[in-house]
Amino acid sequence: MPDAPIAAIVLTHAHWDHVGGLAALRTPATQVIAQVRFADELARVTGTGGHYRWFFGAGFGGIDPALAPDRLIADRETLVIGDTTFVLQPVRGGETEDALVIGVPDRGVVFVGDAFMPYLGSPFVGEGSPSALLDTISTVAAMSPRVLVHGHGPLTDMFTAEAIAPLGAAYAELRAHVEAGIAAGAPLTEILASARLPEVVRDHPEAAMPFLISWQQFAQRLQRQRTGYWQPDGDGLEARAPAEWAGALDLLAGGGEPAWAEAARALIERGDHGLALRIAELGLLAHPGSDTLDALRLRALDGLRERYQQTNPFKFIVYSEKAGVELPAEVR
């Protein structure tokens, strides 16, 4: 804690990893500022079960749902502290609807919080908007930033001030592709498989990596928001428990536990660790206590952790928890 009193705390959004420590900094003299939709987002977050504790954090359920800022920002405002002027700009995305970006015009710096995460909202929470992300890109670009300061590094560091305008154009092209697929009744897997690298990314290499690590999440969130609980490929028509699938596939396998193990092993050898994990886990439902299937499950998880450790920390954390592999505190 600094010796001088904290005059103001500006919350970029209501996610647990950004508001959980507020009580340690807040004093009676501190003004807490947030976006006008802060309470709605906080309710959405605290109302979601944090099944994966390594992802949500051990204290996820302890966030006070009544947390109330002192000042809410509905439109662009300025805040002057000392000789520094801050521009507080509400935006609606792309991670949360209550995003508040903070510009320091004299320095050419914009604090964007998690507005440019590779994920549109938490994968386990119904939030995030591709359209709002495009609006946010336009808004931030209009602030003419020299440097963007993100809430999480190093993965977000590649979302640079120079990259966001061409990235917005690439997202717009991807949105048109996904919307055309939805209109044609194509399932999500077909929409993803038919996507192509936008031409603007070829011409602006600084936007290539941000696009490549985020395009699938963008497309998936858009498709889920525009479709219902019955999907074009029939997914959702009949809700089946994993144990039911395991029983049906066990009949198909015929050979019992060895057939499950052979299939999982073959998938691992061809590099399809995601499908191998699914087969191993269903096989364990059909044949609980199988040491062979349990070992294959862990091999599949190791392959997935290796694949995503540098490109998708959310998946890396979830697969590590499923494997029971301890992570350093700074990763979790």
pLDDT at 165 over 60: yes
For residue 308, tell me if it sits in a domain: yes
pLDDT of residue 122: 84
Tell me: the pLDDT tens digits for 103-128? 999 999 999 999 998 888 888 888 88
**Pairing of β 109-113 and β 147-150:** parallel
| Phi, psi at 169, each rounded to 5° | -65, -40
Alpha-carbon gap, residue 18 to 74, rounded angstroms: 20
Q: Judge contact between 142 and 155, C-beta under 8 A.
A: no
DSSP SS3 for 146: coil
Rounded Cα distance between 50 and 232, Å, is 30
pLDDT at 65: 66
pLDDT digits (tens, 9 = 90+) for 54-108: 777 665 555 676 688 999 999 999 999 889 999 999 998 789 999 999 999 999 9
- Higher per-residue pLDDT: 3 or 153: 153
Residue 70 belongs to some domain of the structure: no
Largest CA distance in the chain: 76
Please provide the average confidence, as pLDDT, over all residues in the chain.
91
Q: Is residue 20 one of the residues assigned to a domain?
A: no
pLDDT exceeds 70 at position 196: yes
- Domain with 305 in it: 242-323
Provide CB contacts within 8 A for 4, sequence distance 6+.
Answer: none
Q: Terminal CA-to-CA distance of the chain, rounded, Å?
A: 23
Task: Report how far Cα 278 is from the mean position of its chain's Cα atoms.
Answer: 22
Give domain status of residue 254, yes or no. yes
The region of weakest confidence among 14-18, 30-34, 63-67 is 63-67
Amino acid at 61: G
**pTM (predicted TM-score):** 0.88
What is the mean predicted confidence (pLDDT) over 249-255?
89
Minimum mean pLDDT range among 41-55, 247-261, 294-308:
41-55
Span 3-19, average pLDDT: 88
Residue 218: CB atoms within 10 Å: 23
Q: Flag whether 301 is in a domain.
A: yes
For the segment 279-291, the average pLDDT, to the nearest whole number, is: 96
Q: Could you tell me if residue 257 is inside a domain?
A: yes
Total of domains in the chain: 1
Q: Which residue has the higher pLDDT, 18 or 274?
A: 274
258 within domain boundaries: yes
Assigned domain for 317 exists: yes
Using pLDDT thresholds of 50, 70 and 90, give the confidence band for residue 2: low
